[in-house]
Amino acid sequence: MSDQLRLGTRGSALALAQSHQVRAHLLSRFPSLEIDVVVIKTTGDKLSESPLSAIPGKGVFIKEIEEALLEKRVDFAVHSMKDLPTDQPGGLIVGAVPPREDPRDCLISRSGQTLSGLPKGSVVGTSSLRRQAQVLAAGGQVTVQNIRGNLDTRLRKVKAGEVEAVVVAHAGVKRLGRAGEITEVLSYDVMLPAPGQGCLAIEVRDEDSKTREFISVLDHASSRRAAEAERAFLAALGGGCRVPIAAYARDVGGALVLDGLVISPDGKRKAKGRLSGDFQAAARMGEDLGEKLLKEGASDILKTSDGDNGFGA
């Protein structure tokens, strides 16, 4: 008899693409497996018109999926790592982090202009306070507008002329097979990514050793360590979607290098730093950088920024 597993996922085109990619990798390793994809609608999907910063609670794109895991209605789940809160419910763990996709953000503009080349007064759409703040900090004379909806919806708004451009995750555009629409891949100097961006998190019940063994073959050690450093940085700052926090960890000559940023929604105030060290100390490095920036001004930015999302109610 073949083993059967149920994979929980959101129903957006990107979430389904990611989940089917994971499913295909597992089936290539375990041909006798049967994996059913179970679509679960989350709070973030139900409140698709509300700014993310206005939705109460954490994990708005995963809460219902985690409930399904805990209730054993699904056996594992595939999330975008950046959607996963740093404090997971008891009984659940990240069982695998596959190789990371490009963590940078990208610009898709109607006119084909780069971010620095957009005409004065152009409207740039984003659902992210982190992106909003860094677009404004880049110094262009553009207006940032909150837009929600899945990636397909946001790209349609560009084509329809509702906004001149959008800033979105490069990884998501690539996973949807729409990389040809990208106008500019934004450098890390201009746009530091969200903690965990480009990574997938495969979540599973801690007690489910059988499923954990299956998904463990997908784990990529350096991607996991990078995500651990970035998420520890986020946790040390106590941040979430309400405050613009960015981080990027990577391998540089065998060492783990972590950049972190806390920035006000208007892009005018920021605390930024870098640490490097051993991959095995990834979490400790993230905590240390968070504590360092708190002492260097991040604390004041966090206090005054929380709840002031710049998008209005």
Active site residues: 83
Cβ atoms of 220 and 100 within 8 Å: the answer is: yes
Q: Could you identify the residue written with the tokens 């409930």?
A: 67
Per-position DSSP letters for 147-193, written without gaps between them? --S-HHHHHHHHHTTSSSEEEEEHHHHHHTT-GGG-SEEPPTTT-PP
Cβ atoms of 290 and 236 within 8 Å: the answer is: yes
Q: Could you identify the residue written with the tokens 């946001």?
A: 154
Report how far residue 193's alpha carbon sits from residue 196's, in angstroms, rounded to the nearest whole number: 8
Q: Nearest 10 degrees: CA dihedral of 80, 85, 91, 97? A: 30
